[in-house]
Amino acid sequence: MIRAILPVAGALLLCGVPALRGQSPAQSAHDLVKDVVFNELQERREVSLWQYRVEKRVASQTTVEQEIETVSGPVFRVLARPGRPLDEAGQKKETERLNNLLRNPAEQAHMEQEYRADEQRLQRLIAAMPDAFLYAYDGMKDGNLRLSFRPNPAFNPLTYEARVYHALAGEILIQPQQKRLVYLDAHIFAEVDFGFGLLGRIDRGGTFQIGREQVGHTRWKTVLVDVHVSGRMVLFKTISKDQRVVRSAFQPVPSNLSVREAVAMLDAAETAP
């Protein structure tokens, strides 16, 4: 279920005329979101791979990683944990982990399968944004259009992911010229039950913050994911997703980059003086 929750946040990652005080916007909030979704889906159809630095906190554990996107999914190397550079033994362990990935075609295939499945799920959720929520203009902030959103009662969520998705409300900021999402602040306003509560629940009060930045001429990437979600699933396993991820130092890499090439780049960076 945690894997189901994160694409929900991802889906919310995601015009021309600003809404001015005292004036009616030239475009409805719903149509603006449709344009934002169109732009997001168009970009996702074009292969664009990047490498970047990741600072991650999961519960009380902090790590720093270098991550490189490949045609088969992202590959990473841990640089510091917990907040301190890895010692020689830690570096050796990371090298062994990456070498094991290269030697194991089944593990690579599993990584790619999960990556493709997450991408497809994310695209479905992005495409549902105009219908899943009701939007309203709420002024401007830092030069961006601000929209509030709440669930559309006419929307019928058919999957677990969509049910969590449909329990969100909050606000989004949209860059008006390019019609791209800049920031999202959402909360789960109602408990979500699965199987009438027998299979589990997602607790009310969970929060998502998503930040997006332009990293290339037409490329936008997620620079912040801050998720706090709790609940309970079948067999009394407790869900506790307390995670903050900050990405920075984006650099493009070849659009046909393989896992082997990415691992070589990570190894070279680790041994560079």
Cα distances (angstroms) measured from residue 21 to each of 7, 138, 154, 184, 209: 35, 10, 30, 22, 26
For residues 262 and 241, what is the distance between their CA atoms, to the nearest angstrom?
A: 29
The SS3 assignment for 116 reads helix
**Exposed/middle/buried for 235, CB within 10 Å: 0-12, 13-18, 19+?**
exposed
- At 163-216, the pLDDT tens digits run 888 889 999 999 999 999 999 999 998 888 766 555 677 888 889 899 999 998
Listed in sequence order, the residues at least 6 apart from 76 whose beta carbon sits closer than 8 Å to its beta carbon are 54, 65, 66, 67, 68, 266
Runs of H (alpha helix) within 155-250: 160-165
- Least trusted range by pLDDT, from 1-5, 212-216, 237-241, 266-270: 1-5
What local confidence, expressed as pLDDT, does residue 30 receive? 95
Domain boundaries, the chain: 2-16+27-271
pLDDT digits (tens, 9 = 90+) for 105-114: 999 999 999 8
Once rounded to an integer, what is the mean pLDDT over residues 243-262? 95
Position 192 scores a pLDDT of 83
- pLDDT tens-digit readout, 20-65: 344 446 789 999 999 999 998 998 888 899 999 999 998 888 999 9
- CA dihedral of residues 200, 204, 206, 207 (deg, nearest 10): 140
As a whole number of angstroms, the distance between CA 63 and CA 83 comes to 6
DSSP 59: T
Q: By mean pLDDT, which of 6-15, 128-137, 138-147 is the weakest?
A: 6-15
Highest mean pLDDT among 40-54, 148-162, 249-263: 249-263
- 146 token code pair: 């601000």
